[in-house]
Amino acid sequence: DISGSITTPDVKLNLGGEFIKESTATTFLRQRGYGWLLEVEDDDPEDNKPLLEELDIDLKDIYYKIRCVLMPMPSLGFNRQVVRDNPDFWGPLAVVLFFSMISLYGQFKVVSWIITIWIFGSLTIFLLARVLGGEVAYGQVLGVIGYSLLPLIVIAPVLLVVGSFEVVSTLIKLFGVFWAAYSAASLLVGEEFKTKKPLLIYPIFLLYIYFLSLYTGV
């Protein structure tokens, strides 16, 4: 006649000088080789990054690029090539969306049109630049074309004021298109194009005329 009782071993863990008694289930899992189920991963410092850093958004960099586009004169001392050589996505997207918002005038289809023209118009400029021998990436063209919409955003409130004066309004529109086209072309049209520059400058100019037509409803 065999009788008796089995007592649970009193297992303690030493955590930082303090002893914590383990439960029966914990002890059983550890004895059977399933202790890994009880392990807790340490927090990864990378998981605690700020949201802007997580999304790769640099507000200072975007602000600097905006100034480079709005003030394209070399005499001002801006390193304008950073707009082309260090392209980003969120800055141009914000500019394009803002231009879309001010172009609404109750016709919501214009937003999708502006974004579509931005994407495929930039693709056309990119392909043409590559055919002409330019060393430029699609992301660079997308960023430059997007940022260079800023001049058209600047002239938008002026057009609201002088809209009744047809001659003045036309001159301001031409000024805005030339401003935007010059800002984009001066970044995309490098010395590698040489005598072929007009073949790339002309479609850039036409692209911004089309952007302006979406805004004005022409």
| Tens-digit pLDDT profile for residues 95-139 | 888 888 877 664 656 777 888 888 999 999 999 888 887 778 888
| CA angle at 50 for the pair 49 and 55, rounded to the nearest 5° | 95
| Residue 154, pLDDT above cutoff 70 | yes
| Tens-digit pLDDT profile for residues 157-200 | 888 888 778 888 889 989 999 999 988 888 887 666 666 777 88
The set of residues, in sequence order, having a beta carbon less than 8 Å from that of 114 and lying 6+ positions away, is 96, 99, 100, 103, 211, 214
Letter string b/e over residues 197-215, b meaning 16 or more CB atoms within 10 A of that residue's CB: eeebbebbbebbeebbebb
| Tens-digit pLDDT profile for residues 9-68 | 544 445 444 444 556 766 766 676 656 555 655 555 555 666 666 667 788 888 888 888
Domain locations along the chain: 50-214
Q: Which residue reads 């031409």 in tokens?
A: 174
| Residue 209, pLDDT above cutoff 80 | yes
Mean pLDDT of the chain, nearest integer: 76
The whole model's pTM is what? 0.68
Percentage of the residues of the chain whose pLDDT score is greater than 90 = 6
Round to whole Å and give the CA distance between 192 and 5.
Answer: 90
The per-residue pLDDT for 19 is 44
Round to whole Å and give the CA distance between 66 and 73.
Answer: 13
Three state DSSP letters for 182-201: HHHHHHHCCCCCHHHHHHHH
The per-residue pLDDT for 120 is 92
The per-residue pLDDT for 105 is 61
Distances 134 to 5, 139, 151 between C-alpha atoms, Å? 86, 14, 25
